[in-house]
Structure 1
Amino acid sequence: MSDLVYSIENIFSTEAREGALGQKDAEKYYIAPYQRGYKWGATNPNDAVWLLISDINDAFTGDEEEYYLQYITVKNNELDGVRVLEVIDGQQRLTTLTLLFAVIGHLLKDPKPAISAHKLKYGVRDKVDDFLGHYIYSDIDRLLETSWEELIEKHPEYNLQDIFYMYNAVQCIKNRLSEHESLLEFHQFLNERVMLIFNVIEKGNLASEKVFSNLNTNKVELTSTELVKGLLLTRAGREKGTDKNDRHFKEILELRSTMGRQWDEIENWSESADIRTFYFSKYSEPMEGIITLLAYAFKYTPEKSKNKYSLFNFFQAQIKREGISAQTFFNKLRQIYHLLKDWYESPKIHNMLGYILFHKGAQFSLSSLIPLMEIDKIALQKKLSQQILQVMDFDVSDLSYGEENTRIHQVLLFINVFATDTQFNFTELEDRKWSLEHIFPQNPDFLPTKLAHRDLELLNKLLPSDWEARVRSKLTLEFAEDIAENKITELASKINSDSCELTNEEKGLVYYSINKVKLNSIGNMALLSGSDNSSNSNGLFDAKRHNIVDLISRGSFVPKHTYDVFAKLLSQEMESDLTIWSEKDIDAHESWMIKRIEEIKGDMVK
């Protein structure tokens, strides 16, 4: 059973235990006639040879534990009675690595042949083989001191495209690495920690030319999820029985095809917007969230090194060292998928779990889901209820904006999520970033300059009976006593009239006098998205109510509780007038919230 991933050192090794060649009883890699010649550029920073060296060096200097190259795909074959691995895809990469090791050996003055020496055979390109044998494997020193013109003058038969690009490649590699401060360590990193994905075409009647033409040529670096998928599907197809003939090639393909379809089903589900948000919003690759869950189920501990391939390394180690079968991992993956899907589609569990995941200050993580997967639905709901009640274990009436914003958000979300038995839309919550909205505005500039009778009626309900004494204590610090009294008298006259215009100073005095405790209490709070909150500006209640109706008509998602507040549908104790929001309304709203929260809590403990 060959591995899926090899270090570069083992890619060229003929040792049976560790080497890619050795495990297949092959002596070298064979580049067949249908392959195009070697054509990787090496003369400027955007050329392939230059980029390969830069990428590996960046991984080396960045102290990455491992760096993964793309696939090479090979097929067992025989050439002149010698077992070879025919390269279907990846010959440019393999040839460049061959050249790279040869140049590094020259720079390090290593008397031993490079590990890649004599491991590459070009079909129907005798001159290329001759060039590799005469210079790359045996006399790289002389080649590096020879100009292209001198080489062609001495060997006119070498004036071929493949050899021209190989010559430029070795010169580029020499120039890039000759001044390397840590070449020995770089060489060791290249040998041991640069990995190559190794795909072996199994027995079958597919011609190599057809396989080659159908291969994906996308050179984007593989994700950890893609590597895990390749590992599980490759291994699971080979695990039944120890005799390689136990499982017919067609049966292996059918098994992999079935597993591949199941994998795609899971991946497509996790990629949907609602699922991505609900379970995997912290992951750039949603499928990686499920893979992480799978790893947690088998006691995975994230590496402190933040190695981006740590998940793949974990699964490979579990299979190779711990003896856990790939089929076991895949079966567990399907179980996790079906559980997550069932939870999401069950309204009660959906809302409970969503609240745990999305309330302000939530500490819940993917790893927290693992213990929940080991219990039945009744026990699951009880466990989630306990966690929610712990979050809500505080006195709602004591909350004040500015001091307890997190808990105010927890209260308002609690009421919205558990207002009905229907499934709550957590995607809207996460995407629109709900924020706290003062039903009656709190900022000093909330008042319009011109106040009508309704506005003045509302102000008189919000101003405490001792407002004049409060203003007097403020003004006498700034003005003479007679000036302060004149200002108070003029302001009192205005707010007791049928209509008036207030100066900015007078608006500031009114705001200073309003009961801030009431304005910042839970009874004056609701949830809105950040953008919708901004659109309300600092308008009075009636202006906000009209704006919210307009937002809903334009398709904006307004939480049900917020709509009910501005429609005054929550309590008969609220004033019937929809144009104002008074201190009486604030108190009635708070009383309703406290009662509703206790009702929901009571349902949870039943």
Structure 2
Amino acid sequence: MNKIDLIPIGKIILNDKTPDRDTRFEHYLIPYYQRGYRWDIEHVTALLDDIHNFMNSDEKKYCLQPIVVVPSNDELGLNIWEVIDGQQRLITMNIIFNYLSRPRYSIIFEKRGKSTSFLENLSPNTYSDENPDFHYMSQAYNIIKSWFENKTKNDVGYIDEFNSTLTKKVEIIWYQIEELKNIDGSGEVEKKKIDIFNRLNIGKIPLTDAELIRALLLSKIKYGLTERESILRQAEISSEWHRIEMELRNEEFWYFLNNKTLEETSSTIEFIFKLISKNNIKRYSTYMWFEKEIKSDNQEKEKENAIELWNKTKEYFSKLKHWFENDYLYHHIGFLLALKDNSISNVRHIIDMSNCEKSKFKNWALNEVISEVSDIDLSSISYEINKNDLKKVFLLHNIVTSNLVKSAQKNRFPFNLYKKVENDGGWSIEHIHAQQSKEMKDEKAIKKWLEETYLAIEDINDIEKVSKGINEVEDIKNTSNLSTLKNKVQQMLNSEKIDIDDFNILKSELIQLFDSDSIHILDNLALLSKKDNSSLNNAIFPVKRNRIIQMEKEGKYIPIATKNIFLKYYSNTNLQPYYWGNDDKQSYFQDISSKLKPYLTN
């Protein structure tokens, strides 16, 4: 079973298990399939600067990225560590210790004996560009030399303090792959080593906190077990681990909890580990928190701590799954999380609040939603002033509408689709009736606008609008006016060159024809993705309606309330489907008011 630990840098030079050699320091083998040393000025300087900044900070520990090693034997039968990942850091630190004239480990390059000798004897007198290894090693030594010369100009004790900090306070994650230990003559073992190297280096996929935590838990939980018991316990945890990982990979489950995309996430269970830990800002800080919580002078106590943390992981997962499967919690918690940026801290807060009776937790979730929207006044909310509140209103209205629809066996708001749009440009507030927008001057855009508009209105013969009351219908715009405008559109389409001024006058007349009052208030607004909204800005209602229908046919996500608007779902009369009239507005507003009534005080 693999081993993992957090150890000070001094322990990778010399420790109580270092074999007797002349001189007695650890040895590391760089296998033939690795390309060699390639760190440039920015990498070397960054490492030195990080250690310097840590040395002058109030932090107690600083951790370097992992090194991955396989135990092996040299030609004398003594232990040597085959380096699968971490070559660049190991060689750079070796050169630092060389310059400082301090004890250092040995590095042996398999099948590149010249590089072994060159690194061992590296100094300003041996600089060489004979091959890439020599060039980058020489360059690194020169960078380190210049860096320390600058730091020691006015501080004779700097080198001693730096070396003490690096060897005693700077730690490294030591990942020891025991399963490949001392197995000779096996091509399969060699292949596994190369596969691990490729994944960590060529594939640019670093070890994740989750992988390190898994190795840590398994290495501690096996204490006191027979080999068979250890294998069975490992299989049990691996099975539970896989189940949690796969269930969280369900898009609906993941995006209910997360704003971060699945594509950005190499391990979903790491989300739970971050919830449990108290510090997860820097890379590997989650692992370091687990390592600290488990660590003890007593191995039995370490085993108990590891089991307790694994059980806590399963407990957290069970809570998250309960929220997801319970429609009431799913929609209320989902609404709260969709409004926030930092999903980790918010989910952690909700977990803390859930440590009570189920009925109390449901009331808490309801009250949290109420606190987000209760002070919003639907009758005065405005596009120009309250865009953030409008987004809250439309999100909640769509959530409640999705939950209340009875046409399917189970209806839930699709947070996965909502957040995918949020991550791909975001949401905006769409005007149902077009605004009097800026003049259009691009000929291609004008041509397209005319084509789409004519296609949408060519079969419309008149327009009926509700002007005085829901049941009082009158023909405000006469048939001849509409017919005249249609003819003008057709003439412009057929003309060789379109006069831009004439077009913008025509566009304004058409918008006014299909227009209604109160452009910027709630009953003329809806939620739509920014990308889709940008293509609808200048369009009249029948054109927007056609495009919304086409978007849905193309598989784009249209929020249910927005779709209902353009399908005339909220209408109480038999008016034509190409006009958003006063009756539609009143019904739409009433629907929002009634559905949000449990949450609003205004």
TM-score, length of structure 2 as denominator length? 0.69
Q: Give, in whole Å, the separation in 1 of the partners of 2:538 and 2:213.
A: 58
Name the CA distance, whole Å, in 1 between partners of 2:338 and 2:86: 49
* 1:345 matches 2:314: no
1:239 offset after TM fit, Å?
4.2
Which residue of structure 1 aligns with residue 14 of structure 2? Answer: 13
CA distance in 2, matches of 1:196, 1:530: 45
Q: Does 1:312 align with 2:287?
A: yes
Partner secondary structure for residue 519 of structure 1? coil
Give the corresponding residue for 2:534.
Answer: 534
Aligned match of 1:525: 525
Q: How does 1:507-586 map to 2 (within 5 A)?
A: 518-572=518-572, 574=573, 576-586=575-585
Equivalent pairs counted in the alignment come to 521
Equivalent pair of 2:209/2:286 in contact (CA under 8 Å): no
CA distance in 1, matches of 2:528, 2:519: 17
- CA separation of 1:31/1:191 partners in 2, compared to 1, >3 Å: closer, same or farther? closer
* 8 Å Cα contact 1:233/1:260 also seen in 2: no
Letter in 1 for 2:67: Y
Q: What is the alpha-carbon distance in structure 2 between the residues aligned to residue 592 and residue 128 of structure 1?
A: 76
**Residue-by-residue CA offset, 1:403-458 (whole Å, 9 max, x unaligned):** 22222222222221111431111122122233222222222469989999979856
Pair 1:578–1:190, CA change in 2 (3 A): same
Rg (Cα) greater in structure: 1
Which of 280-289 and 330-339 deviates more?
Answer: 280-289
Match of 1:100 among 95, 100, 119: 95
CA apart distance, 1:377: 4.3
CA distance in 1, matches of 2:112, 2:466: 97
Among 308, 314, 338, which residue is 1:358 paired with?
A: 338
- Post-superposition shift, 1:217? 0.6
Relative to structure 1, the CA distance from residue 585 to residue 38 in structure 2 (aligned partners, 3 Å threshold; closer, same or farther) is closer
The structure 1 residue matched to 2:216, chosen from 234, 238, 262, is 234
Aligned partners of 2:509, 2:583: CA distance in 1, in Å? Answer: 22
CA–CA distance in structure 2, aligned partners of residues 361 and 77 of structure 1: 51
Change (3 A) 1:262 1:411: same
Partners of 1:77 and 1:85 within 8 A in 2: yes
Name the counterpart of 2:589: 590
Task: Render the CA deviation track for 1:565-604: whole Å, top value 9, x for unaligned.
Answer: 22222242x4522232223332332233323333x659xx
1:6–1:198 Cα contact (<8 Å) kept? yes
- Within the alignment, does 1:145 sit opposite 2:121 as a pair? no
Determine the structure 2 residue equivalent to 1:4: 5
Q: For the structure 1 residues 77 and 534, does the alpha-carbon distance in structure 2 shift closer, same or farther, using more than 3 Å as the test?
A: closer
Letter in 1 for 2:125: E
**Residues 1:543 and 1:253: Cα distance change in structure 2 (over 3 Å):** same
Query: Quick one: distance in 1 between partners of 2:562 and 2:377?
Result: 21
Deviation at 1:190, TM superposition (A): 4.4
Q: What is the CA–CA distance in structure 1 between the aligned matches of 2:111 and 2:478, rounded to whole Å?
A: 102
Return the offset for 1:353: 1.7
Q: In the aligned structure 2, how far is the partner of 1:513 from the partner of 1:123? A: 81
- Equivalent pairs: percent with the same residue? 17
Structure 1's 443 and 277: CA in aligned 2 closer, same or farther, altered over 3 A?
A: farther
Q: How far apart are residue 2 of structure 1 and its match?
A: 7.5
Note the residue ranges of structure 1 that are not aligned, 5 or more in a row. 107-113, 150-160, 463-491
Aligned partners of 1:209 and 1:48: how far apart in 2? Answer: 33
> What SS does structure 2 have at the residue aligned with 1:388?
helix
TM-score, L = length of structure 1? 0.69
Closer/same/farther in 2, CA of residues 352 and 208 from structure 1, 3 Å limit: farther
Query: Aligned partners of 2:332 and 2:386: how far apart in 1?
Result: 23
Contact 1:66 1:194 in 2 (8 A): yes
1:124-523 aligned at under 5 Å gives the runs 136=120, 140=121, 144-145=124-125, 171-180=138-147, 181-182=150-151, 184=159, 187=163, 190-192=166-168, 195-202=171-178, 207=183, 210=186, 211-215=189-193, 216-218=196-198, 219-220=200-201, 226-239=208-221, 246-282=224-260, 285-286=264-265, 291=270, 293-297=272-276, 300-301=278-279, 306-320=281-295, 325-359=305-339, 365-375=346-356, 377-393=358-374, 394-421=376-403, 422-432=411-421, 433-444=426-437, 461=467, 500=484, 518-523=518-523
Letter in 2 for 1:11: I
For the residue of structure 1 that corresponds to 2:355, the secondary structure is coil
Deviations 1:47-79 (A, max 9, x none): 358786355246447769745344232438799
Task: Report deviation, 1:167.
Answer: 6.7
- Name the amino acid aligned to 2:167: N
Partners of 1:399 and 1:248 lie apart in 2 by 69
Q: Aligned to 2:518, what secondary structure does the other structure show?
A: helix
Q: Report Cα offsets for 1:378-410 as digits up to 9, x if no partner.
A: 443322222222223133222222122222222
Whether 1:72 and 2:96 are equivalent positions in the alignment is: no
Instruction: Check the 8 A contact 2:210/2:273 in 1, yes or no.
Output: no
Moved more, 408-417 or 534-543: 534-543
**Residue in 2 aligned with 1:116?**
104
Give the Cα–Cα distance (whole angstroms) in 2 for the partners of residues 493 and 269 of structure 1. Answer: 57
Q: Contact 1:40–1:165 at 8 Å: present in 2 too?
A: no
